[in-house]
Amino acid sequence: MRDKSEYRIIFMGTPKIAAKVFEELIKDGFCFVGLIAQEDKPVGRKHILEPVPTKEVALRYNIPVYQPHKIRKEYEFANELKPDLILTMAYGQIIPQGLIDIPKYGCLNLHGSLLPKYRGAAPIQRAIMNGEKKTGITLMEMIDKMDAGRMYAKEEVTILCEDNYSSLCDKLAIAATKIVKDNLLDYLEGKLPGEIQNEEEVTFADKITPEEEKLSLDYSCERFINYVRGLSNEPGGYILVDDKKLKIYRVSKVSDSHEELGKITIKKGVFLSLRDGTLELKELQLEGKKRMDDKSFANGNHNLDGVIAK
């Protein structure tokens, strides 16, 4: 049996969830010969160019970093790294078959759902938005059809009512690390036959569009809350109040009674009336202002009392 450090692995991933998994696997002794990540992007109001989260990890451990603009056109460098395997998680671009064919043992993906449910770009957000009570990580084969490859292992994760996108990502990062530690060597030694996905059970998790970040006042209280959770802490769902974005990061239902649809009430907190009840907006951020709890917001925004949101 070969030691895990003897296999040359390229990691492909970009956001925080991938960075956490990447670092834990480095610490565990896996040998990463390169990182492929999306390009660095401007961050914050000042648009300062910052390295993506996985790049920060790679630089700490002196792992070479590659950030092609379009991976489908720029992947020949991977041949020089002589990888045994490519392991991906939330990379952000469609990976071409030519790259998948380079490693001796192929290309595996850590997908953020219990496949075949929620194939696609936003499985974590969509699971929360749809009110699911569980999700997980699937270790799967990458093929030229989106998230359709053979499944080698799954790790289930419970979605609690207080979970949002950020907290669920933290849970899934732990699950993804565990699934690799428990199964990757068996895969590399040919001990995992894998399971073909049942196409009749497939559902899709489309990318979150900018339009969906605006929370519809036509939603039921339950759906509104689930969308807030699915969009928190990033990018944050919002409503319009006096033509300004009011981002809502945490919310709960306080009553089945309601007033005019979209009415904001400010007393000792901030309340929003929907068609089937009243919500308390517990953590929010008015455009141009800092994020704050409802009590602090109420103290400084009495002028919004009675305003009808859009």
The string of pLDDT tens digits covering residues 269-301 is: 999 999 999 999 999 999 999 999 999 999 988
pLDDT at 159: 98
Q: State both tokens at 54.
A: 């996985």
pLDDT at 43: 78
d(CA 120, CA 173): 18
**Is pLDDT of 1 > 80?**
no
How high is the mean pLDDT of the chain? 95
| Mean pLDDT to the nearest integer, 102-119 | 98
**Is pLDDT of 216 > 90?**
yes
Cα torsion angle, 106, 32, 183, 169, sign: negative
Percent of the chain with pLDDT over 70: 100
pLDDT at 300: 87
List the 8-13 sheet strands across, edge first. 65-66, 31-36, 8-13, 85-89, 107-111, 134-141, 151-158
Domain residue extents for the chain: 4-201, 210-304
**Record: fold of 4-201:** Rossmann fold (3.40.50)
Write the pLDDT tens digit of every residue in 128-181. 999 999 999 999 999 988 999 999 999 999 999 999 999 999 999 999 999 999
d(CA 119, CA 203): 6
Give the pLDDT band (50/70/90) at residue 112.
Answer: very high
Q: Give the up-direction half-sphere exposure of residue 103: CA atoms within 13 A in the CB hemisphere.
A: 22
Measure Cα distances from 265 to 213, 245, 259, 304 in Å.
Answer: 22, 17, 10, 8
- Pick 1 or 223 by higher pLDDT: 223
**Record: fold of 210-304:** Methionyl-tRNA Fmet Formyltransferase; Chain A, domain 2 (3.10.25)
Write the pLDDT tens digit of every residue in 27-77. 999 999 999 999 998 877 777 899 999 999 999 999 999 999 999 999 999
| Mean pLDDT to the nearest integer, 216-232 | 97
pTM, two decimals, is 0.95
Backbone angles phi, psi at 102, to 5 degrees: -70, -50
| Mean pLDDT to the nearest integer, 190-196 | 95
How do 41-43 and 48-50 pair as beta strands?
antiparallel
